[in-house]
Amino acid sequence: MFSKILIANRGEIACRVIRTARKMGVHTVAVYSDADAKSLHVEMADEAVHIGPSPVGESYLRGDRIVAAALSTGTQAIHPGYGFLSENPDFVDQVVAAGLTFIGPSAASIRAMGLKDAAKRLMEKAGVPVVPGYHGEAQEIVLLASKAREIGYPVLIKARAGGGGKGMRRVEHPDDFSEALSSARREAKAAFGDDRVLVEKYVDKPRHIEVQVFGDNFGNAVHLYERDCSAQRRHQKVIEEAPAPGMTPALRKAMTEAAVKAAKAIGYSGAGTIEFIVDASQGLKPDRFWFMEMNTRLQVEHPVTEMVTGTDLVEWQLRVASGEKLPKTQSEIALSGHALEARIYAEDAAKGFLPATGTLHHLKFPEAACEGATMRVETGVRAGDAISPYYDPMIAKLVVHAKDRQAALEALGAALSRTEIAGSTVNTGFLAALAADPDFCAGDVDTGLIGRHQAALTGVALPTGEIVSAAALAASGAAALPPSNDPWSSLSGYAHFHGVARRTRLKFGEADILAKVSVRPDGRFQVALDAPYDSTNSHDFRAAPRLARWPGHITVFEGAVGYTFAVTDPLARSDDAAAASGSLRAPMPGLVKLVRVAKGDAVIKGQPLLILEAMKMEHTIAAPHDAVVAEIAAEGAQVTDGTVLVRFVEEQSAQTAAAGR
Ligand code: ADP
Ligand code: ADP
Ligand code: MG
């Protein structure tokens, strides 16, 4: 076994690898960028080496610096985690050339599977069923369009170098093909530096079912059963589970055999995942699954497999890379119970799952799952850490394991409703709604489920009067009062409050809320709210609500949802807000990729105005209402969070302008 390894990654996966290494008595070296100088993975590792500025291209993607860090610390092997350099065969060559061990497959295996088109050609030859479509070299738009027609719509355009759901566009109709192709190519070029694509048949009622495989350097390869990752948004997984709901012995046999065959076809060593797409329109049939791609690394969702098979896949990775045989044979790997993983992201589900940033001023996970279930929280952040625009906005993974799917779903719901995060927009409410969705609970999942139920799953629940009142009370100045386990009762009787109604202004989203807080003769607080909350209704507080205060804000938690209120200073009339209604601001830092309208153009509500590229994805910024453009950001401009992207002509002058035409 190695005595010291370097982890060429950050965030939760770096922490995850460090934990197993420590358990095995292996010393760890972390690497970090400027933004991560104080991050958890740096704190957890035995040593840490700074490798550059925050942008990934100057730090986590700098193979040369990472290898230098490994050499200077006397490291024997490098664990790449997922993402970043984990599937970069040139990096593997660099590592090996430096006399170090790469904890993962050979560069040749990665090359064979790295590009989706070449991988499909290879799998076809190996006798593994592949998704019908075009995966050839030629890339002329006319050819691709005619292939799409041959395949039959709907089709899916995919970046051959793609990953993380990027560079992928579903096309319903031939008229939309060329636009979708350009968009996919732009995104692929920006994210992967390669804009070549393949075109696939869009499978009906698709389910994403993948098989965990593991190989060693002695020609052995086993599978560790399947995971279902059909719960997706933006073609990206949000809840994963093992085993797949409704899996039949016949399909499991066919899929796991195909997966092992695929791994053996490339002499695979280490942890890998064969992703299949399954047509579930007629139930789960053994002849209705096709190879999509192989991920030649540890997968984000590997913990669900660990929980149902009782293995530590990172331990297996270290053992195999250090030259040991696979710890178990196929017949020794058994399935037990059901596991679910929910990915908690900083993102705004209601705004099309737009990634968010922010400081996690308040961060609390449950200590344990409910009775009869076990839980793991995989995270790379602590309270006070920031979700920056530089990296993936995942905050944590909640993983639960119980005797069956029903019990695991309940445990997940319970764990989510006891999770508290404030300081950034998060998807916990969405995840809880998904974990309680009747179709999802029935195991009737396919990749379109989230889209079909989007309104119900992502609708912004308005806070009840009770919740608003709790926020108003906390905002009214109670902050200055002594803390207690039961803040509401300890506040009672504060003489200077008696008879005086304190006016407090809050903002929930765009809505202004005016509250009057006073103390009743019996010493309890009373909050009266203006419309839309019933102004005559008052509230008292018997149970202390769960809440967090952070600069300028109060977040009240109810279930898995955090309701965040901005506390506005009643004296400062916000002319910023007034100005903002006549303009559109960048929701996050990014690059203005494409500008579609010009100054003076009259635009209609919903019309795309420009494309902002942020976090390696394209976001269309559309007109919030009919308006005339007074000013618009320039193509190629780098903007920060809150920068005005578009300014509209003031409504009155817009009407005059319209009337004058
Ligand atoms: P796939 O969708 O191909 O199965 P996964 O869902 O396993 O991939 O996620 C891998 C993705 O995670 C990468 O493509 C990358 O966008 C993202 N990622 C890379 N590094 C990190 C990291 N350290 N922390 C969180 N996410 C990361
Ligand atoms: P990535 O490398 O981004 O993970 P994949 O090829 O694995 O790309 O596809 C990501 C997701 O897109 C899949 O999990 C699945 O939900 C969907 N998808 C991919 N190919 C198809 C297809 N041919 N038909 C329907 N859905 C598909
Ligand atoms: Mg994939």
Tens of pLDDT, residues 190-219: 999 999 999 999 998 999 999 999 999 999
For domain 465-567, give the fold. Lipocalin (2.40.128)
Relative to the alpha carbon of 56, which ligand is closest? 1
- Probe target for ligand 2 pocket from 158, 292, 299, with the most ligand atoms within 8 Å of CB: 292
Chain position carrying tokens 């593994």? 128
**CB distance 369 to 304 below 8 Å:** no
In the chain, which residues fall in CATH 3.40.50.20? 4-103
Residue 264 has pLDDT above 90, yes or no: yes
> Which pLDDT score is estimated for 363?
97
**Long-range contacts, stretch 94-97, CB < 8 angstroms, 24+ apart:** 94/63, 94/64, 94/67, 95/63, 95/67, 95/70
In this structure, which residues have their CB less than 5 angstroms from ion ligand 3? Answer: 275
Percent of the chain past pLDDT 70, that is, above it, reads 90
Give dist(CA 495, CA 498) in Å, integer: 5
DSSP helix/strand/coil, 351: helix
In CATH, the number for domain 132-201 is 3.30.1490.20
* Identified catalytic residue from 62, 297, 405, 418: 297
For domain 4-103, give the fold. Rossmann fold (3.40.50)
Q: Is the Cβ atom of 235 under 6 angstroms away from ligand 2?
A: yes
Cα 167 to chain centroid, rounded: 16
> Which pLDDT score is estimated for 661?
39
Task: Please state which CATH class domain 570-660 belongs to.
Answer: mainly beta
In the chain, which residues fall in CATH 2.40.50.100? 570-660
Closest CA to 479 of 565, 573, 581, 549: 549
Using the atom order of ligand 2, give the atom closest to the CA of residue 230.
Answer: 16
Cβ burial of 455 (10 Å; 0-12, 13-18, 19+) is: exposed
Based on the residue annotation, tell me whether 62 is a catalytic residue of this protein.
no
> Which pLDDT score is estimated for 540?
52
Beta strand extents in 17-167 (DSSP E only): 27-33, 47-52, 77-79, 101-102, 133-134, 155-159
Give the up-direction half-sphere exposure of residue 143: CA atoms within 13 A in the CB hemisphere: 9
> Which pLDDT score is estimated for 544?
67
φ/ψ of residue 550, rounded to 5: -145, 165
In the chain, which residues fall in CATH 3.30.1490.20? 132-201
Closest CA to 274 of 217, 353, 221, 216: 221
Q: Is the Cβ atom of 163 under 6 angstroms away from ligand 2?
A: yes
Relative to the alpha carbon of 59, which ligand is closest? 1
> Which pLDDT score is estimated for 578?
38
> Which pLDDT score is estimated for 616?
60
Residue 646 has pLDDT above 50, yes or no: yes
Give dist(CA 615, CA 602) in Å, integer: 30
Span 539-578, pLDDT tens digits = 555 556 799 989 889 999 999 999 999 987 544 433 344 3
Residues 6+ apart with CB under 8 A from 367: none
- Quote the radius of gyration of the chain (alpha carbons, Å): 27
Give the up-direction half-sphere exposure of residue 127: CA atoms within 13 A in the CB hemisphere: 7
Q: Is the Cβ atom of 341 under 6 angstroms away from ligand 1?
A: no
**Region at 71 (left for phi over 0; alpha for psi -120 to 50; beta for the rest):** alpha
Residue located nearest, by CA, to atom 14 of ligand 2? 208
CATH of 343-460, one of 3.30.420.40, 3.50.50.60, 3.40.50.450, 3.30.470.20: 3.30.470.20
Output the DSSP codes for 504-540: EEEEETTEEEEEEEEE-TTS-EEEEE-TTS-TT-EE-
Relative to the alpha carbon of 161, which ligand is closest? 2
DSSP helix/strand/coil, 68: helix
Give the up-direction half-sphere exposure of residue 316: CA atoms within 13 A in the CB hemisphere: 28
Residue 489 has pLDDT above 80, yes or no: no
The predicted model gives 284-310 an average pLDDT of 97
- Mean pLDDT lowest for which of 66-70, 441-445, 491-495? 491-495
Closest CA to 71 of 95, 104, 52: 95
Span 60-118, pLDDT tens digits = 999 999 999 999 999 999 999 999 999 999 999 999 999 999 999 999 999 999 999 99
Q: Quote the ligand 3 centre to 348 CA distance (angstroms).
A: 23
Give dist(CA 255, CA 276) in Å, integer: 8
φ/ψ of residue 503, rounded to 5: -90, 130
Span 358-406, pLDDT tens digits = 999 999 999 998 899 999 999 999 999 999 999 999 999 999 999 999 9
Q: Please measure the distance between the N-terminal and C-terminal CA atoms of the chain and give it in whole angstroms.
A: 79
The predicted model gives 235-246 an average pLDDT of 96
208-336 classified as CATH 3.30.470.20: yes
Q: What pLDDT band is residue 624 in, cutting at 50, 70 and 90?
A: confident
Using the atom order of ligand 1, give the atom closest to the CA of residue 10.
Answer: 23
